[in-house]
Structure 1
Amino acid sequence: MPETDVLIAGAGPTGLVLALSLARQGIRLRIVDKAPGPGTASRAMVVQARTLELYRQFGIAEEVVQAGIPVEAAHLREAGREVMRIPLREMGTGLSPYPFALSLPQDDHERLLEALLRDQGVAVEWGTELLDFREEAGGIRATLRRDGTEATCAAAFLAGCDGAHSRVRETLGLGFPGGTYAQLFYVTDARVEGPFREDLFVNLQARGLALMLPVRSRGVNRLIGIVPEALSGRHDLRFEDIRPEVEALLGVRVAELNWFSTYHVHHRVAERFRAGRAFIAGDAGHIHSPAGGQGMNTGIGDAVNLAWKLAAVLRGRAAPAILDSYEPERIAFARTLVATTDRAFRGMVGGGLGGQVMRSWLVPHLLPLLAGFTAGRHLFFRTLSQTRVAYHDSPLGEGRAGDVAAGDRQPWVADCDNHAPLDGRGWRLQVHGAVSPALAGAAGRLGLPVDAYAWSRDAEAAGLAEDAAYLLRPDGHVGLADPAQDPARLEAYARRHGLAFAED
């Protein structure tokens, strides 16, 4: 028998969320990281609404929101002047319990997740490096090194959440095609003069991308942007060298500097996310531009997707083949996201005609036009918040009812809060309308919880079909959508995937 069920390499947000999700379901695990301890500075800042919805399933969303700062509006600037204010809360109201983006520094985020993981009885093994591993019959045998001493660990599965330079990905020989942007980025935490600004500010000037967002409740802002091309080759670059341009672009005066660093941005997606009993997630599988604040959230989405499937297989609640759905679901989204953020990034900073059109016409003219329509506001929010992520080509998807297809995130219905029963651990059957006795009987035989809600205008507006049956996966995505409430179809779906719903 393996000494642990899952060995996780990497204790960033992706690895910590994977560990937390598995621990909540009683899965034995070890999580190791070669760093001596938690990070003290970070570049990732934004927690999107979909991530908060997933955290709500864990029972930790409110704690995370309290630790951060809700960003309810974005200000777009061109050449140092504001051209548009986007009210994020207005765009997301009615679509999610969290109609905003949350600003929470990655190091604070990681400390919070690590504390929650300790509450589950699991401690991160800092200063422990994964050196090598191989797959054997029934599991993975890994070599770990701590304090100069090597030891082996036998696990049923291995998850590489170990970043862009992933040892797991490299050991598996998975290609990581893509490239590196020529621009040099800067990042700094600073206190600016005047009242503390809790909104997001984005300057779109050609080759002068600059962003400012709130960092912590004590009144510090994060400034991110591109180093002026004339200074990008300097190895001794200081903030004072770029201060005049940064302050002009963002319309601020920096009063106090906490720290400053420079870095390059890559855009890559691994050729595969799985090889046998080993998986990769987060930056080990995909990295991209900071456009839209999507990177960390995508890694957390990977972790949640993988966690419920590993737990189901390890607990004997699903056929092992369910693990085959992880790669196609998450790699398809990663590829689309990298392509989209790449186009957006190049448009924001490009000096050609396309970039000029985006900054001078599309942003100041088309966005306000779209924002004037409900459909346009909803599209903007869903795209940015990742509530639009769907797995339409998943081997786990079947059917459609109303506007909701298998693979979609189950829409949130505000008047009944139909996301409240989701706990990230078990499947649920949801009906807005009347539940037929035949369907109730089948659910009872399967041990499947049923959430029944009165039909409402909110449910109709969300795209649901009256009296339709929606079988929800543990992550809140639709597995089966059946407008006819056919009990035989539900039971056949459960048999096909080897699903066992009843709790022990």
Structure 2
Amino acid sequence: MDDEEHKQADVLIVGAGPAGLMLAVQLLRYGIRPYILDESPDTYNHAGLLMILARTLEYFRQLGLEDELRSKAIAANEQQDLPLDDFLLIHPSFLVRPLLHRLGDQACPIYWNTSIAEVSAGKKGLIIQLNQDGRRHELHISWLVYTCPDPVSRKETPSPRFSDHRRMYIGRATGRILTKPGQSINTDVQDAVNLGWKLALVAGGKAVPALLDSYKIERQAIPNDPLVWEEKAVLVPQRPPMGNNWLGTLRDALLRRQLRNPTKMRSFREKLSQLGISYRHSPLSHHHAHGTQFMAGDRLPDLTVFDEKTKKNTSLQQWCNKPGLVLLLMGTLNKNSLFVLSQWVLNKYPEILQLYYLPYSPANDAVFGAFELKPDAVKMIIIRPDMHIGYVNDTISAGLVETYLQGVIGMV
């Protein structure tokens, strides 16, 4: 690290594991180039296999990295006698490799064998004293993100902690119940995605810092249940069927026997997938529509959509997969109204808001049914970059969009 070249940065990420790398990739989507450091001399590694759950796979798919991940993984049901074909087991080095490749393509370096010696407050951010190969460097940053326990104090967080002024905490650094490396990998990655787009908007000067408060509110409120099921998912495949730990072996055998029951297996899969995690309680979630099947705060369902322009089927998540927020208009709109609204979006929010229009057609009847929308009605949905629904209204209006973006998201 050159003293003159690296003096100022928007974001410093401590830890080059899956959570830190995912956060870096998310920031790069918005043009924010973070600095990443890690105490280790080389790439993240962890013994055993990691189970990648359905929600985490969706985020790799969003980045176009799912195929590379699957090429190095095995289906969970090949490792153990359980029907878990839609989850992947993968070695940790293969999990981080696609993320490392993406960072390399974006010329975003990682500083290995580097640690934080001291953190102090500056006029416009934080002043970081770094140790690298026995030399001291000073770095001025706006935001500091820990992905592992605080390297300065060397202590685990006594209670869950998500933010502290200009310091943010994701993954193991939050001090959740599950703190062993690899044990809560899916929750760690989802923390990174949730924080990533918010921090990018704030660091890029497009939103007020208060937006970051929603990260703590949303991720702290996740019940322990998904974490417990994630622990089972990670540990069960890696324990041998026989061994000295007879109690653990017996517990695993009982779990396998229970999962032979189709009803219990269905419940297990639903909890394990983490697809049901919702942010309905979040201050960013505003629902002003009659339908209740999918509400503001819920994950955007990955439904099949027929694209009228390309005349091809795609998934709703892939269709809305753009950096920034997506304004999805559904129903029947006249061409003049659609043109006026699209021009307003281009002029007002050219870099942060994408507009998509889905008119009714028999090919999209299932999508309209899922959102409880009649063919002759309209619905306006704002989709967050992490593929959660932020805003729903049965009225289409530029004024309502602006009220949400400025009054709720805090766009400037």
Q: Is 1:370 matched with 2:370?
A: no
Moved more, 385-394 or 120-129: 385-394
Distance 1:69 1:404, change over 3 A: same
- 1:319 counterpart = 2:217: no
**Is residue 2:401 matched to residue 1:490?**
yes
Give distance in 2, aligned partners of 1:443 and 1:304.
Answer: 28
Q: Which whole-Å deviations, capped at 9, do the CAs of 1:350-404 have from their partners, x for residues lacking one?
A: 979xx98x975x8646862416xxxx83x54342122112111111110053411
**2:375 maps to 1:391:** no
* 1:472–1:478 contact (8 Å) kept in structure 2: yes
1:468 to 374, 379, 395: 379
Q: Which region of structure 1 is more displaced relative to structure 2, 281-290 or 380-389?
A: 281-290
Closer, same or farther: CA 290–283 of 1 in aligned 2, 3 Å: closer
2:23 counterpart residue number:
18
Which residue pairs with 1:125 in the alignment?
111
Shift, 1:458, TM fit: 2.9
Q: Does 1:458 align with 2:366?
A: yes
How do 1:29-68 and structure 2 match up within 5 A? 29-68=34-73
Partners of 2:115 and 2:131 within 8 A in 1: yes
Match of 2:138 in 1: 152
Which amino acid in the other structure matches residue 143 of structure 1? Q
SS for the counterpart of 2:278 is coil
Shift of 1:24: 2.7
Alpha-carbon deviation of 1:318?
Answer: 1.9
**2:168 equivalent in structure 1:** 279
Is the contact made by 2:36 and 2:111 (CA closer than 8 Å) also made in structure 1?
Answer: yes
Describe the shift of the 1:343–1:61 C-alpha distance in structure 2 as closer, same or farther (beyond 3 A): closer
Amino acid corresponding to residue 299 of structure 2 in structure 1: R
Contact 1:289–1:341 (CA under 8 A) maintained in structure 2: no
Secondary structure of 1:298's counterpart equals helix
Q: Could you tell me how far apart the structure 1 residues matched to 2:233 and 2:27 are?
A: 35
Q: How does 1:34-433 map to 2 (within 5 A)?
A: 34-71=39-76, 85-86=82-83, 88-89=84-85, 100-161=86-147, 163=148, 165-167=149-151, 170=153, 176-177=157-158, 270-288=159-177, 295-333=184-222, 335-338=224-227, 364=257, 368-370=261-263, 377=266, 380-399=268-287, 401-416=291-306, 417-423=315-321, 425-433=323-331
CA spacing shift, 1:336–1:32, aligned 2, 3 Å: same
Equivalent in the alignment of 1:227: none
Q: Which has the higher strand share?
A: 1
Query: Mapping of 1:436-447 within 5 angstroms?
Result: 438=337, 441-442=340-341, 444-447=343-346
In structure 1, the residue corresponding to 2:261 is in which secondary structure?
A: helix
Residues in 2 aligned to 1:420 and 1:344: alpha-carbon distance in whole angstroms = 27
SS in 2 for 1:59: coil
Q: How far has the Cα of 1:461 moved from its partner? A: 6.1
TM-superposed CA distance for 1:337, in Å, is 3.5
User: If the length of structure 2 is used for normalisation, what is the TM-score?
Assistant: 0.79
Unaligned runs of at least 5 residues, structure 1: 77-84, 90-99, 178-269
Percent identity, aligned pairs only?
29
- Post-superposition offset of 1:311: 0.8
> Are 2:183 and 2:231, in contact at CA under 8 Å, matched by a contact in 1?
no
2-structure distance, mates of 1:363, 1:434 = 50
Deviates further, 315-324 or 30-39: 315-324
Matched, 1:480 2:391: yes
Deviations 1:412-445 (A, max 9, x none): 1124411113446210022443346657644541
Per the TM alignment, residue 335 of structure 1 is displaced from its structure 2 partner at its CA by 4.4
Q: Secondary structure at the match of 1:410?
A: coil
Q: CA deviation at 1:23?
A: 2.0
Taking the aligned partners of 2:186 and 2:174, their CA distance within structure 1 comes to 13
The DSSP-based 3-state class of the residue aligned with 1:411 is: coil
Larger Rg: 1
Assess if the C-alpha contact under 8 Å between 2:325 and 2:385 holds in 1: yes
Amino acid in structure 2 at the alignment position of 1:472: I
Q: Aligned partner of 2:11: which letter?
A: V
Alignment match, 1:235: none
State the Cα distance separating 1:407 from its structure 2 match.
Answer: 1.0
> How many Å separate the matches in 1 of 2:76 and 2:99?
21
| Cα separation, partners in 2 of 1:124 and 1:470, compared to 1, 3 Å | same
Q: Which amino acid aligns with 1:70?
A: A
Q: For residues 497 and 125 of structure 1, what CA distance do their matches in structure 2 show?
A: 37
Of the three residues 419, 431, 434, the one matched with 2:332 is 434
Relative to structure 2, which stretch is displaced further, 433-442 or 21-30? 433-442
The answer on whether the counterparts of 2:11 and 2:142 sit within 8 Å (CA) in structure 1 is yes
Task: Call closer, same or farther: CA 1:409–1:32 in 2, change over 3 Å.
Answer: same
Q: For residues 287-318 of structure 1, what are the alpha-carbon distances to aligned partners after superposition, in whole Å with 9 as ceiling and x for unaligned?
A: 55699x87111111111111111111122222
Q: How many residues align?
A: 375
Kindly state the Cα deviation for residue 30 of structure 1 after the two structures are TM-superposed.
0.7
CA offsets 1:324-361 (integer angstroms, 9 cap, x no match): 11111112226454466679999999979xx98x975x
Aligned equivalents of 1:23 and 1:130: distance in 2?
A: 23
Mapped partners of 1:75, 1:290: distance in 2: 25
> Whole-Å Cα distance in 2 between the matches of residues 285 and 462 of structure 1?
36
Superposed CA RMSD in Å reads 3.6
1:335 to 1:154, Cα distance in 2 relative to 1, 3 A: farther
